[in-house]
Amino acid sequence: MIVNNTVSNMIKVFSRLSDMKLPPIGRLLSWGPLTILSIMSFLTYMVFYFAEMWWVPTESVGGMIHISVYCLMTAGSLYWFFTASFTGPGCVPKGWTPPNDAAFDYLSYCNTCKAYKAPRSLHCKKCGFCVKKLDHHCPWINICVGHDNHLYFAIFLMFTLLGCFQAAIVLTICLYHAINRNWYIHEGQEPVINLSSSSLMLAMFATGLAIGAVVAAVFLLHGQITGFIKNYTEVEGWVLQKAKYRRRAAGLPAFVYPYDLGWRENIKLLLAKDFDGLWWPVRKGCSPKEMMDEQKAQKQDRENRHFVCNVSDEYNGSCVPVTTYTRASLTPPLNLAPRIPLCVGETVRVFIDGPQWLFGVKLTADGKESGRRGYFPRAAVYTDADLDEAQINTTNTHKTKAA
């Protein structure tokens, strides 16, 4: 039965490959998947290398169980990694329209996909299509995480967490033995782990990598499980958080999230095989429109807070402009949003204001938005604060002169 299910699951995964924008092998040839596969191979090599010295699998049942469990975790991690990547997030079909007329008024139309954007779906520029229940675009599997592969992605994280946790424990114990080798000799014991200085460095690096992977996987998996229980995605989580503050500040009643049906129903929906993820059930008395309206209100708030400024210094679009903007390069934005190069004399509209970096879009001569949005160093433009400061300095200079 289990074998049958696994085989039918594999067939389903491979039958979907033809629908993908990128051929699966092409999708794996990117820095994200290659990094994940390299880390997994490296940690597996190190665990086997140490197991041969510390707990030899062929010499004891315990050693055999230990290495078998590790192999199981790594195989599981690889299987769900490929499944999440090859299955893809699921796209809104071309020409999709909502099932009821009222929804035409509040759903927007995607000109690229030639379809209405289904509730909870968003267009991903990197993937090139509207993703059903978009959680986030994942560089590690090099495709979005959405309705179709959300669960697979979480299972991949779980196996990765368990495998890396085991690797971290094994490597830490072996490293302890290797570092205290002389103490073991002094106590008259045979040292279990013998390492050259370069192997020791490699082992330290592998231990750090395994611990780092455990921390990252715990953090990510916690976010995913919370999202599953409350039925919200990473994107919707941000909207809900902002809704709390926005509505409190505006004196409005608390926002009721329409897609949270209670944890049992939410999990049932997550596991439902026959649900297409396009038209989501909502809480009694709620409508998808409320979520759209809240998102629109937040967008409007953001637009209202924007300001326009002129470029004072050239910026080449570098993520870490050490030589030109040293202070900004020390605190770069920790996300994959693009950076936009700037030339002196250009004008930009700023949407996000930060101490070192601003996020905005360049404007054309007639004040229209052009090109992509992105980050740039605050020091590359004149902001209102700079102009105020210049004004104060000028006034002070005049006062000094007058005195």
Nearest approach, Cβ of residue 294 and Zn ion (Å):
21
Check if the beta carbon of residue 167 is closer than 8 Å to that of residue 70: yes
Q: Is 138 a catalytic residue?
A: yes
Quote the least distance from Cβ 153 to Zn ion, whole Å: 13
Question: Per-residue x/- mask for Zn ion, residues 82 to 111, rule CB under 5 A?
Answer: ----------------------------x-
Q: What is the C-alpha to C-alpha distance for residues 89 and 151, in angstroms, rounded to an integer? A: 10
Burial of 181 (0-12, 13-18, 19+ CB in 10 A): middle
Q: Which is nearer to Zn ion, 89 or 377 (CB)?
A: 89
Q: Which of residues 108-147 bind Zn ion (CB under 5 A)?
A: 110, 112-113, 123-124, 126-127, 130, 137, 144
CB of 376 to Zn ion, least distance (A): 24
Provide, rounded to whole angstroms, the least separation between the CB of residue 372 and Zn ion. Answer: 15
348 binds Zn ion (CB under 5 A): no
Is the CB of 126 or the CB of 244 nearer to Zn ion? 126
Count of positions on this chain that bind Zn ion (CB under 5 A): 10
In the bound complex, what is the minimum distance in angstroms from residue 352's beta carbon to Zn ion?
Answer: 21
What six digits make up the tokens of 169?
């424990």
* Residue number with CB closer to Zn ion (34 or 320): 34
State the catalytic residue, choosing from 110, 138, 144, 174: 138
Residue 84 or 144 with smaller CB distance to Zn ion: 144
CB of 136 or CB of 230, closer to Zn ion = 136
Read off the tokens for 328.
Answer: 């900004």
In the shown chain, the binding pattern of residues 176 to 195 toward Zn ion, with x for contact by CB under 5 A and - for none, equals --------------------
Nearer to Zn ion, 29 or 390 (CB): 29
CA distances from 344 to 313, 317, 327, 362 (A): 5, 13, 20, 12
- List, as own/partner pairs, every contact residues 237-241 make where C-beta atoms lie below 8 angstroms and the sequence separation is at least 24, other chains included: 239/291, 239/294, 239/295, 239/298
> Smaller CB distance to Zn ion: residue 114 or 244?
114
CB of 184 to Zn ion, least distance (A): 52
CA angle in degrees (0–180, nearest 5) for 219-170-79: 55
Rounded least distance, CB 304 to Zn ion, Å = 26
Report the 10 Å Cβ neighbour count for 337: 12
Report the catalytic residues.
138
The footprint of Zn ion (CB under 5 A) covers: 110, 112-113, 123-124, 126-127, 130, 137, 144
